[in-house]
Amino acid sequence: MACIVKQKVGNNTYLYESTSYRNSEGKPRNKRCLIGKINRETGDPVY
């Protein structure tokens, strides 16, 4: 399952696509891929 995750780093807020899966031991893990960030002035996403 994939979802969009917001993460604040310093003064910027970045957007990631997060994909969840289970590893070979059966433990839950996720992979994140950077897809853009939030414009601080307008609040709109910039991809």
- Quick: pLDDT tens for 5-33: 999 999 999 999 999 999 999 999 999 99
> Virtual CA dihedral for 39, 43, 46, 47, nearest 10 degrees?
140
Total Cβ atoms within 10 A of residue 39 = 12
> Which residues are CB-neighbours of 7 under 8 A, at least 6 positions away?
13, 14, 16
pLDDT for the residue numbered 18: 97
- 5, 18 contact by CB (below 8 A): yes
pTM above 0.85, yes or no: no
Structure tokens at 40: 């601080």
Where are the chain's structural domains?
Answer: 2-46
